[in-house]
């Protein structure tokens, strides 16, 4: 297939590009750093520096929309919140306007979202049928998904990727946590009872490929493993995988003072299950956390 990817130079995007190239697909990556696309995504990947290059006669069989400023890289000031919205919602709207104008429309549109859609769910088990939350992160996801679902009205099979905590040894939260945990400085966050819904990067990429190929797949999908854990459990198992104790506590009050509203991401949580993708027949390679951590940490040892 001819595939356009936005956000392809990010951690998930780079992994996805490698898998798609291995599958024989031809890729174009939209990036603000087009000169780095070949290095980060592959020599045969075509860079697109602006949506202005998406012309009416451009031909793509699929579009994978992973664009968005990182949500945890800076404190949530009003200016930062606006940037988070613009980088997700406005670019998605602009992308779909280009698709609307194209003479040849893609058959499938996969677009990112997050399990933050559900807000702080407490201990409630959340499936794709569960309602949205009411905090900033939830509103952001609701509006992002609404923009993306415009693709369905254009006749594209549309899948929304409600992404959980993606575990990858090459980056993201796991890479940041490895050093302190390796030094025996691992700490649970607050009371540690908040739920963490995670997924091994291999399963994430495999599900994206699954959704691309299965013509009966449409709607919202929870991109998480079937066995969520509490923060206390995650802390204990990461320490176990690294053969180190993890006995410290990061106080909730200090996190609130340091991070402000963004501390909700760490102090709240969602107990999410991937009901819909499992119903379609996807079998997880890493359904349980300890084998997933062991695999990822061994791969860089």
Residue 300: the pLDDT is 55
Contacts (Cβ under 8 Å, ≥6 apart) of 140: 84, 85, 88, 89, 116
Domains of the chain: 2-166+199-224+272-284 (3.40.50.720)
∠ CA 182-183-187, rounded to 5°: 85
What is the residue-wise DSSP string for 9-76? TSHHHHHHHHHHHHTT-EEEEE-S-GGGHHHHH-TTPEEE--GGG--TT---SEEEE-----TTSS--
Residue 301: the pLDDT is 47
Longest dimension (CA), the chain: 59
Residue 74: the pLDDT is 86
- Spatial distance between the Cα atoms of 43 and 52, rounded to a whole number of angstroms: 23
Residue 22: the pLDDT is 95
Q: Are 167 and 293 in contact (CB under 8 A)?
A: yes
- Spatial distance between the Cα atoms of 249 and 166, rounded to a whole number of angstroms: 23
The 3-state DSSP class for residue 201 equals: helix
The 3-state DSSP class for residue 148 equals: helix
Structure tokens at 161: 């990727």
Three-state DSSP string of 224-253: CCCCCEEHHHHHHHHHHHCCCCCCEEECHH
pLDDT tens, position by position, for the chain (301 residues)? 999 999 999 999 999 999 999 999 999 999 988 999 999 999 999 999 999 999 999 999 999 999 998 888 888 999 999 999 999 999 999 999 999 999 999 999 999 999 999 999 999 999 999 999 999 999 999 999 999 999 999 999 999 999 999 999 999 999 999 999 999 999 999 999 999 999 999 999 999 999 999 999 999 999 999 999 999 999 999 999 999 999 999 998 988 888 998 888 888 999 999 999 999 999 999 999 999 999 999 865 4
Q: 19-25 long-range CB contacts below 8 Å, 24 or more apart?
A: 19/205, 19/208, 19/209, 20/209, 21/45, 23/209, 25/1
Helices (H), 42-171: 78-85, 91-101, 136-148, 150-153
| C-alpha atoms less than 13 angstroms from C-alpha of 204 in its C-beta half-sphere | 26
Of 69, 54, 143, 64, residue with least CA distance to 107:
64
Residue 19: the pLDDT is 97
- Spatial distance between the Cα atoms of 263 and 251, rounded to a whole number of angstroms: 11
- On the 0-12 / 13-18 / 19+ scale of CB atoms within 10 A, 287 is middle
- Spatial distance between the Cα atoms of 136 and 234, rounded to a whole number of angstroms: 25
Check residue 186 and report its DSSP letter.
Answer: -
Q: Are 249 and 196 in contact (CB under 8 A)?
A: no
The 3-state DSSP class for residue 199 equals: strand
């Amino acid at each position: 297939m001819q595939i356009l990817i936005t956000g392809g130079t990010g951690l998930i995007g780079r992994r996805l590009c490698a898998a798609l190239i291995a599958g024989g697909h031809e890729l174009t990556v939209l990036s603000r750093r087009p000169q780095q696309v070949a290095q980060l995504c592959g020599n045969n990947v075509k860079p697109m520096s602006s949506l202005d290059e998406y012309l009416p006669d451009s031909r793509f069989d699929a579009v994978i929309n992973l664009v968005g400023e990182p949500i945890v890289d800076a404190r949530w000031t009003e200016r930062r919140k606006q940037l988070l919205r613009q980088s997700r919602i406005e670019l998605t709207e602009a992308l779909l306007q280009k698709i609307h104008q194209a003479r040849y429309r893609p058959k499938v549109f996969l677009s990112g979202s997050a399990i933050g859609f559900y807000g702080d769910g407490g201990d409630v088990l959340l499936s794709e049928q569960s309602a949205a939350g009411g905090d900033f992160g939830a509103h952001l996801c609701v509006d992002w998904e609404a923009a993306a679902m415009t693709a369905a009205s254009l006749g594209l099979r549309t899948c929304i990727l409600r992404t959980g905590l993606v575990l990858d040894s090459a980056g993201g939260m796991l890479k940041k946590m490895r050093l302190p945990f390796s030094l025996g400085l691992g700490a649970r966050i607050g009371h540690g009872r908040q739920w963490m819904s995670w997924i091994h990067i291999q399963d994430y990429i495999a599900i994206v490929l699954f959704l691309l190929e299965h013509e009966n797949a449409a709607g919202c999908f929870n991109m998480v493993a079937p066995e969520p854990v509490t923060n206390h459990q995650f802390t204990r198992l990461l320490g176990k995988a690294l053969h180190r104790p993890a006995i410290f506590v990061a106080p909730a009050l200090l996190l609130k003072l340091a991070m402000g509203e963004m501390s909700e991401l760490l102090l709240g949580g969602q107990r999410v299950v991937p009901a819909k993708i499992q119903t379609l027949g996807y079998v997880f390679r890493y359904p349980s956390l300890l084998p997933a951590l062991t695999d990822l940490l061994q791969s860089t040892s």
